[in-house]
Every structure is written in structure tokens, then in C-alpha cells.
């Protein structure tokens, strides 16, 4: 695996490769990332993984400062998975050039996390656009856990006629149905126990919604999650993942989207 911190050197290395798979990450890699990388390695001639904790997508300086880092372990994982290139840029390398494409933020960015994290999605689209302009991959591999982010990146790519194809990848979960996330490393043991209980309740809640045993009531489910140890609940919403709207009355094909805090850690997921 070759490490690059300079975009021009990376571009020189990859300029004649026409089937590049790209996996953007903020490091602190886990089994969810591993799944994306394995898929890229299978489907692409060469795979680039980037590690860059992007300050522009954090609305909270403390959150940015405390974002988990495990660079030595990340390197071990990337080598084991036979990644060809790691791009680990400094701030200026990704931000000190004029982009060709304009940031396109679809109105879906105002829903869900967009209501609670001001400027977050603009920061995400900005960095992903820059990384795409640097690497020009055939495919970008993104996880369904961050579904809203995935859709907004897809819409930006389509609007700007970028020739990269978005490959959505399934969410990888542990035996308790908890989605792998870098932020989980920051939870205390009792908080992990509370999280398992919360996910179990939400899973059961979705089942009852499908069976029409209950109607969706945010305040009821919010109070239940607070009782189980969530410190704060931003949203619990049901959305048709195809139309990106509330499902029609008899439609049972929807996802339950939620974001809540356990201690200082904000967790999002959908299933």
C-alpha cells in the first residue's frame, strides 16, 4: 500500500488507471468501513481510501477535537484488506484549490440531521466533491447507515454530471443489531448497555408500525428512549427511502430514521 499526503503525487500515480474504487473515511476504521473497502477491492482495479477528519462538517468544535483517532490500527486494517493507496491529506492539500463543480445541496438536506446540524451537509458535500475532483474514481462506496448523506452526495454527483457511480453498501451490525460506528469507541460500558436496549426497542417499534399495532408518535417513542438512557432525542421519523417523504397510509415499505445522544455522543441510524 502506498501512502500519499500530496494530491499532485497521488494524481501522477493514478492518472492512467481507469477503474478506481474510492472509499472516503474519517479514520478510526471499523467493520462497516471494512465492508465498503472489501467491495471496492472486489469491483475495482485499484482502491483508494482517504482518511481526513473534515473540520467543515462539524458544527461543534469540541466534537471535532474529540473525534476518535486510531491511525496505527487503521494502517493495519488497510494493509490486511490490500488497499492500493491511502490518501491522508493535510487541510491545505484538499482546501487550497478552486473546484470545478459547484456544491449542490438538495432540499432533502433540510430534513432529519439537517435540522439539527447547521452547515453539516454543506461541509460533507464540499469535501466529497473535492476528493472526487482529486481522485476521479469510477465508483465511490458509501454506507446506508448515513443514508441522508449518501442521497445528497448522489444528487450532487448527478447535478454536476460527475462520472463517478455511487455504490450504496449495507449497514454492518453487531450481534445486538447495533450499527458499527467510530463514535461507539467513546461510550462507557453502561452507555453501551443502554444503547443495546434502545436499539431493541426501536426495532420492535418499527415491527409494530408495519403490523399497524401502533401509529407513529414521536413524543411517546422519545420519552421511552429518554427513560432507557438517551440523554437527548433529535428525531425518530418514518420515511419512504425511495420517495424521501412520509410513507402513504397503506405503505409498509419505509425506514425508521433516528438520531439521539447517549452521554455526549450523537448516534444516527436507520433500518
Mean pLDDT score of the chain = 97
Residue 62 has pLDDT above 90, yes or no: no
- 178: phi then psi, degrees, rounded to nearest 5: -85, 130
* Mean pLDDT within 167-183: 98
CB 92 within 8 A of CB 141: no
DSSP 10: H
List residues bridging with 50 in a β-sheet.
24, 87
User: Which one is catalytic: 30, 33, 120, 156?
Assistant: 33
Question: Looking at the chain, how many residues does it have?
Answer: 271
Model confidence at 143, in pLDDT bands (50, 70, 90)? very high
CA dist list (Å): 248 to 25, 99, 206, 238: 35, 40, 16, 11
CATH ID of 2-169, from 3.20.20.70, 1.10.10.10, 3.40.50.620, 3.40.640.10: 3.40.50.620
Widest Cα–Cα separation across the chain: 59
Rg (CA), the chain: 19
d(CA 260, CA 262): 7
CB 271 within 8 A of CB 241: no
- Per-residue pLDDT tens over the stretch 86-120: 999 999 999 999 999 999 999 999 999 999 999 99
Q: What's the pTM? A: 0.95
Cell numbers standing for residue 105: 445541496
Name the nearest CA neighbour of 149 among 28, 257, 22, 67.
Answer: 257
* Mean pLDDT within 149-175: 98
The beta-strand segments (E) located in 91-245 are 139-143, 165-169, 232-239
- Burial (0-12, 13-18, 19+ Cβ within 10 Å), 217: exposed
Fold for the domain defined by 182-270: 3.30.1300
Give me the pLDDT at residue 258, please. Answer: 98
Which residue matches cell numbers 454536476? 160
Lowest mean pLDDT: which of 16-25, 53-62, 80-89, 137-146? 53-62
Return the domain boundaries, the chain. 2-169, 182-270
- Per-residue pLDDT tens over the stretch 26-53: 999 999 999 999 999 999 999 999 999 9
Same-fold call for 2-169 versus 182-270: no
Residue 237 has pLDDT above 90, yes or no: yes
Residue 156 is a catalytic residue? no
User: Where is 267: in which H helix or E strand?
Assistant: strand 265-270
Model confidence at 59, in pLDDT bands (50, 70, 90)? confident
Q: Bin 27: left if φ > 0, else alpha if -120 < ψ < 50, else beta.
A: left
* Mean pLDDT within 200-228: 97
Amino acid at each position: 500500500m502506498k501512502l500519499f499526503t500530496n494530491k499532485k503525487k497521488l494524481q501522477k500515480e493514478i492518472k492512467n488507471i481507469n477503474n478506481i474504487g474510492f472509499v472516503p473515511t474519517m479514520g478510526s476504521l471499523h467493520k462497516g468501513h471494512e465492508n465498503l473497502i472489501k467491495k471496492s477491492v472486489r469491483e475495482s482495479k485499484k482502491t483508494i481510501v482517504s482518511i481526513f477528519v473534515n473540520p467543515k462538517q462539524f458544527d461543534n468544535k469540541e466534537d471535532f477535537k474529540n473525534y476518535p483517532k486510531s491511525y496505527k490500527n487503521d494502517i493495519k486494517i488497510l494493509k490486511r484488506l490490500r488497499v492500493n493507496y491511502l490518501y491522508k491529506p493535510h487541510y491545505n492539500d484538499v482546501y487550497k484549490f478552486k473546484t470545478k463543480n459547484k456544491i449542490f445541496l438538495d432540499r432533502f438536506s433540510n430534513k432529519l440531521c439537517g435540522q439539527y446540524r447547521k452547515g453539516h451537509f454543506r461541509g460533507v458535500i464540499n469535501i466529497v466533491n473535492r476528493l472526487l475532483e482529486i481522485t476521479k474514481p469510477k465508483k465511490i462506496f458509501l454506507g446506508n447507515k448515513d443514508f441522508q448523506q449518501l442521497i445528497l452526495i448522489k444528487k450532487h454527483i448527478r447535478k454536476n454530471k460527475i462520472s463517478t457511480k455511487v455504490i450504496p453498501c449495507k449497514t454492518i451490525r453487531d450481534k445486538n443489531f447495533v450499527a458499527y460506528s467510530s463514535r461507539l469507541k467513546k461510550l462507557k460500558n453502561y452507555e453501551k448497555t443502554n444503547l443495546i436496549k434502545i436499539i431493541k426497542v426501536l426495532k420492535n417499534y418499527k415491527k409494530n408500525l408495519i403490523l399497524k399495532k401502533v401509529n407513529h408518535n414521536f413524543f411517546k417513542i422519545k420519552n421511552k428512549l429518554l427513560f432507557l438512557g438517551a440523554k437527548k432525542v433529535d428525531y425518530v421519523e418514518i420515511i419512504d427511502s425511495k420517495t424521501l417523504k412520509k410513507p402513504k397510509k397503506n405503505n409498509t415499505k419505509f425506514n425508521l430514521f433516528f438520531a439521539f445522544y447517549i452521554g455526549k455522543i450523537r448516534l444516527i441510524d436507520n433500518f
